[in-house]
Amino acid sequence: MTIDALRLHSLQMPLVRPFRTSFGTQYVRDVMLVEAIDSDGARGWGECVTLGWPGYNAEYTAGAIQVIKEYLAPIVLGNDWTPDGVDAAMKVVRGHHIARASVGTAVLDVWLRRASTSLGDYLGATRAEVDCGVSVGIPTSESIEELLEEVGMYVDAGYRRIKLKIEPGWDIEPVAVVRERWPTIPLQVDANQAYSREHAHHLARLDEFDLLLIEQPLEEEDWWGHALIARACSTPICLDESILSTESAESAIEFGAASNINIKPGRVAGFLEAKKIHDLCLSRKVPVWCGGMLETGIGRAANVALAALPGFTLPGDTSASNRYYAEDVTEPFVLRDGRLAVPTGPGIGVVPIPENLRSMAVAVEELTSS
């Protein structure tokens, strides 16, 4: 299978409500979709899950576009590829996992469509639908009442797990009131690296709220610090930003820095590496779940397929389309009884709606081998 062209679609998609975390507030999602076109005209899609600025991690959308144009496209275009082959070839570019994942997923999607195979079947999915959780940002007003209103909306919608974003000064009280209002709902928190080792005993105060986990309390490089936090807390510690590969996942487990893992395909350079991390954790009996990056239907379709693998025993951030967007670039993913259906069509199982793609686009650039 020879890839003749890569088309980069830059979109702007307003969020239905501001999404605030410890590293900033988003009002509009800057989206970049990669469309891969092979020599027979078959097309595949991948989503670049960078943010518009390097606040969450080192990659950002404009930088990812530049990396694809200057370094990844020359590797991919005009050559005959298998999914494993293109992933291995792109490893000559150090880092830039999200950029590599977007190109690799688009190529994988073409390959699977030609083979009439769904991504779920290719990865080894064992479920036809997946339990869905939802991530709740810090209210821009820092109002407890606003938080309760938003959480209540998601509970009424049927979500099977609630995740609260926290930071110093916004942690014990909001968690306490949510737990008091909903004493049995699965609940977890996400710090996005906002704390330090000195907060260990403070974070241990969260133990009384029967949380599923505390996600990424410290800086991503602080393995020893996470081990110290894990010793201080009875609540399981989960790593997210720290997990960049199968090796880093194994290190986190062996060092006692985490007892479960958030697998984000973009962060680990694609779905093939995500599957390897899943397999490792399944063999070690370590629970995993699928994180989210406010994906459109393109990224969401692929994430839902991954989340249907047997090791994904915790509900992920695979929310319905209307959690983030009034209108998705694809047919919307709709929550039914707290679950999303795993796409069964070839490849990722969805494509953009042409009119939506055109109306949301702010730029389109085509890269060819000639």
285: left (phi over 0), alpha (psi -120 to 50) or beta: left
Domain co-membership, 66 together with 110: yes
Domain co-membership, 311 together with 197: yes
What confidence score (pLDDT) does residue 17 get? Answer: 86
C-alpha span between 191 and 209 (Å, rounded): 16
C-alpha span between 46 and 8 (Å, rounded): 10
Six token digits for residue 49 = 């899950």
Domain co-membership, 134 together with 97: no
C-alpha span between 274 and 263 (Å, rounded): 6
Percent of the chain exceeding pLDDT 90 equals: 92
Confidence band, pLDDT 50/70/90 cuts, at residue 4 = very high
Domain co-membership, 194 together with 145: yes
Residues with a catalytic annotation lie at 165, 264
**Domain containing 80: what range?**
3-116+353-368
Percent of the chain exceeding pLDDT 70 equals: 100
How distant is the alpha carbon of residue 69 from its chain centre?
23
Domain co-membership, 295 together with 256: yes
Average pLDDT over residues 59-83: 95
Residue type, 127: R
Q: Is residue 98 part of a domain?
A: yes
Q: Is residue 347 part of a domain?
A: no
Buried b (16+ CB within 10 A) or exposed e, 111-144: bbbeeeebbbbbbebebeebbbbbbbbbbeeeee
Q: DSSP secondary structure string, 297-318? A: HHHHHHHHHHHTSTTB-S-BS-
Sign of dihedral through CA atoms 297, 299, 305, 306?
Answer: negative
Domain co-membership, 149 together with 22: no
- H helices of the chain, in order, are 61-67, 73-76, 83-90, 97-114, 119-123, 144-157, 172-181, 200-204, 223-232, 246-254, 271-283, 297-307, 354-360
- For residue 40, give the CATH number of its domain: 3.30.390.10
What confidence score (pLDDT) does residue 155 get? Answer: 98
Q: Is residue 92 part of a domain?
A: yes
Q: Is residue 348 part of a domain?
A: no
Domain co-membership, 34 together with 182: no
Q: What is the pLDDT of residues 172-195, one digit of tens each?
A: 999 999 999 999 999 999 999 999
Residue 269 near residue 105, CB atoms below 8 Å: no
Domain co-membership, 63 together with 149: no
What confidence score (pLDDT) does residue 135 get? Answer: 96
Please, what is the average pLDDT of the chain?
96
Six token digits for residue 127 = 């479920």
Q: Is residue 189 part of a domain?
A: yes
Taking the CB of residue 166, how many other CB atoms lie within 10 A of it?
A: 25
What confidence score (pLDDT) does residue 19 get? Answer: 84
Structural domain count of the chain: 2
Helix, strand or coil, per DSSP, at residue 367: strand
Sign of dihedral through CA atoms 160, 133, 232, 202?
Answer: negative
Average pLDDT over residues 73-83: 93
Domain co-membership, 111 together with 135: no
Q: Is residue 74 part of a domain?
A: yes
Q: Is residue 139 part of a domain?
A: yes
Q: What is the pLDDT of residues 223-245, one digit of tens each?
A: 999 999 999 999 999 999 999 99
- For residue 212, give the CATH number of its domain: 3.20.20.120
Nearest residue to 75 (alpha-carbon basis) of 92, 50, 60: 92
What confidence score (pLDDT) does residue 24 get? Answer: 80
What confidence score (pLDDT) does residue 57 get? Answer: 86
Q: What is the pLDDT of residues 11-38, one digit of tens each?
A: 999 999 888 887 788 889 999 999 999 9
How do beta strands 129-131 and 187-190 pair? unpaired
Nearest residue to 275 (alpha-carbon basis) of 306, 250, 302, 249: 306
Q: Is residue 323 part of a domain?
A: yes
Please state whether the predicted TM-score (pTM) of the whole model is above 0.85.
yes
Domain co-membership, 304 together with 186: yes
C-alpha span between 300 and 317 (Å, rounded): 10
CA dihedral 40, 302, 267, 13 (to 10 degrees): 90
Q: What is the pLDDT of residues 129-142, one digit of tens each?
A: 999 999 999 998 88
Domain co-membership, 148 together with 271: yes
Domain co-membership, 112 together with 131: no
C-alpha span between 317 and 261 (Å, rounded): 13
Predicted confidence (pLDDT) at residue 336 exceeds the cutoff of 80: yes
What confidence score (pLDDT) does residue 214 get? Answer: 98
